[in-house]
Structure 1
Amino acid sequence: MLILTASASSCKKYLDEERRDNFNTNNYFTTASQAQTFVNGIYSNLYMFQNGDAYGESPFITLELFAGHTTTLGQSVNNKQVITQTTSPTNPGFQTVWSNSYAAIANANIALKRIPDIAMADADKKKLLGEIYFLRAFFYFHLVRLYGDVPLITEPVTITSETLYPERSPMASVYDLIIADLKAAKESGLPETDQSGRASLGAVRTLLGSVYLTTAGYPLQKKENYALAAAEVLPVLTKYTLFPDYAFLHDNAHKNQGELIFQINYLVGVKENAIPQLTLPFNLQVGAYGDHLGAMIPTTQFIASYPAGDKRAKERQFFFSSYPKDKDPSTIITFEKPALYKFFHAESALGNGKSDENWTLFRLPEAMLIYAEAQNEAEGAPNQTARDQVNAIRARAELAPIGNLSQAAFREEVWRQRYLELCYEDKSYFDIQRTHKIYVVPGGTFADATSTPNEQGVTFKEQYYFWPIPQREINTNPKLKQNQGW
């Protein structure tokens, strides 16, 4: 059954969900309004990242657990098995990402087939198709990075289609489609930026830059793509601005603004989430939440890896170690371990406990660091623009600027800033995949991923460079073969 979204306000268009039990594509795609509603439904599949149960088995947490800098104080056996690298293809998070991504891709394929025939303003049609290309590329990008070779489906599927039970396609072919889709999205007339939560040219360029950076690393190692990545994100750097306050990253007043390039949008009463509850200390009454689950807690060793004086590591910047008790502000609760203030949502904590905190998929510092890393690799040394990007991030963190570093030293400084600035935003595991390096704490150095224990004493297993194909999919489709080691 398809889940569609109906238009609400101009800034929350894809939030309202509506079921259409008798949906039929043959008589549905007749008006511009129908086309818009259908595309809104593709956006709603982004909610997969926060899908999960009360134990914290949500993909946004699973991705961080794979990176090794997160503990869980919650009750999830599956989460603990990810940390110790003893999990299996039956882990529900693997199925959540696979099924939601392919549901989004299936609807994107239908929309790309049917919307061109709708009578509507050409500019509106072109923009809508650009959003669809962006979204299809986004979901395929997650699939190919997480599972490796995956089925490549570009046409609507019916019960009689040959692709009803598809085989896996080579990663290179999947990336070819992703890049082609994003190039099409770039030419679709999308706005440079967007404050409504929809795709923009900035989001397209940042995603494409990330794709090029990824393909320049393992396993494809297309080194020529470093230059393409740098060129792709360069225009983004002047279209967004860094926030002066880290609190703006997770409040309601600054959603989809400033440095926030693309977010998953939430709204109380329409679509809410449990991000604060999942990231608060276990069973401590911080905020007006019914649950305090401790499902994603940063390791103390990771926090200790921040340089002396780094503002991000100070109290109530990216982390916090105490907070007033709910309904009793005179009582200060001290945590056993620091938690993520980066995702603390004051509006819901001090209100009724219903969170509509947005989840950020792309923000300006990532684009800045993509440029810095890619330019350094492409040209053999950092240029002034690359150094400026790193120094801007460091300046906000109240750190001294870097000087003229060598290519190798600059490379590691960029990697280090990716960990320190983008921590717990689902970037670290993908960095391990493409670099085959892990961030070693508390020293903040880098070492081979499969031979160096992390701060929890776990050494990354080679099979963990990819997730397993979900067992349910293997059971359903005999053409799917499991990833090595799983």
Structure 2
Amino acid sequence: MNKRYFLPLAIAAMIGASSCVKLTEDPKATLTPGNYFNTQSELDGAVTSAYRALAIDGAWGFTSKLTSYFGSDDLTTHPASNKAENREFDRLQGTSINNSLRAEWEGPWNTIYQVNNVITNYEKVAATTPDAVQKRNYAGGQAYFLRGICYFYLVRTFGPLPIVTGPAEITVIPERQGPDKVYAQIISDLKKAAEMLPDKWPAGVDVGRPGALSARAVLANVYLTMAGWPLNQTSNYNLAAAEAKAVMDAKKYDLVPDYLDVFKTNNNIESVFGLEYNVAGQLPNRSFGATCIPDDEGGWDDFFPEINYFKDAPVCKRTDETFHTQIKSNKFGVISWDDPRTATHHPYYNKFRYAAGDGIVETPTKVISFNASTNKTTDVVRFAETLLTYAEASAMSANTVSDEAYEALNKVRRRAGLKDIVKGLSATAFRDSVVNERKYEFAGEFGQRWFDIVRLQLLPKVIARRDPNEFKDLPLNPAAVANPGPKYLAPIPFRDLNLSPGWTQNATY
């Protein structure tokens, strides 16, 4: 995270080289609590190790973290090139042997194993003063937070999971538990984190560390998700609204005035929780800059929006800042995204080009240079999400729309350059307005659109709205079009399934 927390190079290299995380792997091979947690500084180092395990390229540091979310309308990829693994899921044809999928599975599991060791052993660190006890608890609270958010991403992506909350026995293969039990564990972890952490770390201190409000913001999303598929526990709308409201009332976060600055700055007032990166510290973020720059401009062309997703975007400042529509072709000069001479005939994302000032360098007519490795923080939770979670959850829980719910939605719309939603909507119509706002507020961001599609079962509508020219030579999986339900979950990676007798693969994989 912040460079004062970087691990010694030997430990960092060990974690960076850990490319295979199996549920049968003994985490004591990575950390040895018996002789590691002797001091607070060693405990802090173990927590930093867990962050790094989640932030690396093979986890959440590259676009592979999006692989199974390409079934969404805000993500598509080059029809040729080396994007086959993303194309599989873009066509709803994903497989369990997809190598990029492993980032979504291994990154969180590696982190869970490491924080389990912290949670099991942090209280063994000697603490003889209230200040020392507090620092020790802060380390434990971060571990609980990381375990909660990792399980949250895993359960939404893969469905039933083993619940591992302590050092894993090398001979034990835990059973996959239903989402209800996984969510119970997530809630327990995030509540524990909220009890143990400060509301928000002081500015400039322990940058990138989640606070109690971070945990409550994630809890709000957890409850909102539980109100939808697969649990459909609508009573959780009220809990989602309460957690989001607590974060709002604390007045520790706000919207960045200019939407584009969210993606050009680090640790701004809108960032509720983000993963920190440092190229010089051998921890680059490769999800910005080159990855979303068109092939016509010399970029990597990894991801961009579908045609009708772009065409359906509201006319506003946020849309102008989100999308890149004038391609600075190395061969033809500045041409429109739909010019037949472009490689993909698609618009691109503008908001991911810049990173934290170390992404692209360009003039109005030409790309000068760009970087594949940047120092840009990945904002996993933004305050805009909390506002929209509150708006939707409060309306659905009360079956009526309060003035506060309208204001939460309209605050996001005003920043976008849109007019206020006029009052008088039914709760359901208002919910649909909020979901549509989320669709473009979080365009292309880490699973946000896909998770809305999943919890609200929107895939049939997304498929129906797909432009017929959307790489028509690479059609959608006909079986998935006829029965999209099973595609809401990704497959368990084959290698892990094969190492876990008794597990059953998710349907259709």
On the 8 A contact 1:194/1:256 being kept in 2, the answer is no
Per-residue Cα deviation, 1:409-443 (whole angstroms, up to 9, x for no partner)? 101100100101111112111111111124xxxxx
- The equivalent residue for 1:18 is 12
2:344 is aligned with 1:338: no
- The equivalent residue for 2:383 is 364
Separation (CA, whole Å) in 1 of partners of 2:30 and 2:244: 43
On the 8 A contact 2:60/2:104 being kept in 1, the answer is no
| Cα drift, residue 25 of structure 1 | 2.5
Separation (CA, whole Å) in 2 of partners of 1:22 and 1:454: 46
- The equivalent residue for 1:165 is 173
- The equivalent residue for 1:313 is 319
- The equivalent residue for 1:465 is 488
Name the amino acid aligned to 2:285.
N
Separation (CA, whole Å) in 2 of partners of 1:77 and 1:191: 43
On the 8 A contact 1:182/1:208 being kept in 2, the answer is yes
Separation (CA, whole Å) in 2 of partners of 1:75 and 1:52: 20
| Cα drift, residue 325 of structure 1 | 7.8
Segment drifting more, 241-250 vs 388-397:
241-250
On the 8 A contact 2:323/2:349 being kept in 1, the answer is yes
On the 8 A contact 1:72/1:297 being kept in 2, the answer is yes
On the 8 A contact 2:64/2:104 being kept in 1, the answer is no
Q: Say what the alpha-carbon RMSD is for the aligned residues.
A: 2.7
User: Runs of 5+ in structure 1 lacking a partner?
Assistant: 286-291, 439-446
2:102 is aligned with 1:95: yes
2:67 is aligned with 1:44: no
Q: What does 1:54-453 correspond to in 2, within 5 Å?
A: 58-60=64-66, 62-73=67-78, 74-120=81-127, 121-160=132-171, 164-192=172-200, 195=203, 196-237=207-248, 238-251=251-264, 254-270=265-281, 271-275=283-287, 276-285=289-298, 292-307=299-314, 309-314=315-320, 317-322=321-326, 332=334, 335=337, 336=342, 337-345=346-354, 346-350=357-361, 353=371, 354-404=373-423, 405-425=425-445, 426-438=447-459, 448=461, 452=464
- The equivalent residue for 1:476 is 499
Separation (CA, whole Å) in 1 of partners of 2:242 and 2:168: 36
Q: State the percentage of identical aligned residues.
A: 28
SS class of match (1:362): strand
Per-residue Cα deviation, 1:211-253 (whole angstroms, up to 9, x for no partner)? 10011111111111100000001122232111111221122xx
On the 8 A contact 1:281/1:339 being kept in 2, the answer is yes
Name the amino acid aligned to 2:65.
P
After TM superposition, the score normalised by the length of structure 2 is: 0.82
Name the amino acid aligned to 2:413.
R
Name the amino acid aligned to 1:431.
D
User: Aligned pair in 2 of structure 1 residues 435, 192: CA closer, same or farther (>3 Å)?
Assistant: same
Name the amino acid aligned to 2:113.
A
User: Aligned pair in 2 of structure 1 residues 413, 49: CA closer, same or farther (>3 Å)?
Assistant: farther
Separation (CA, whole Å) in 2 of partners of 1:344 and 1:81: 25
2:50 is aligned with 1:29: no
- Give the structure with the larger strand fraction: 1
Separation (CA, whole Å) in 1 of partners of 2:309 and 2:292: 16
On the 8 A contact 1:57/1:76 being kept in 2, the answer is no
| Cα drift, residue 96 of structure 1 | 2.2
Separation (CA, whole Å) in 2 of partners of 1:432 and 1:26: 45
- The equivalent residue for 2:466 is 454
On the 8 A contact 1:283/1:293 being kept in 2, the answer is no
Per-residue Cα deviation, 1:354-389 (whole angstroms, up to 9, x for no partner)? 422221111011100100110011000111111001
Separation (CA, whole Å) in 2 of partners of 1:281 and 1:122: 51
Per-residue Cα deviation, 1:265-288 (whole angstroms, up to 9, x for no partner)? 112212113222111101424xxx
User: Aligned pair in 2 of structure 1 residues 236, 214: CA closer, same or farther (>3 Å)?
Assistant: same
| Cα drift, residue 296 of structure 1 | 0.2
On the 8 A contact 2:443/2:449 being kept in 1, the answer is yes
Segment drifting more, 264-273 vs 127-136:
264-273
Q: How many residues align?
A: 451
| Cα drift, residue 99 of structure 1 | 2.0
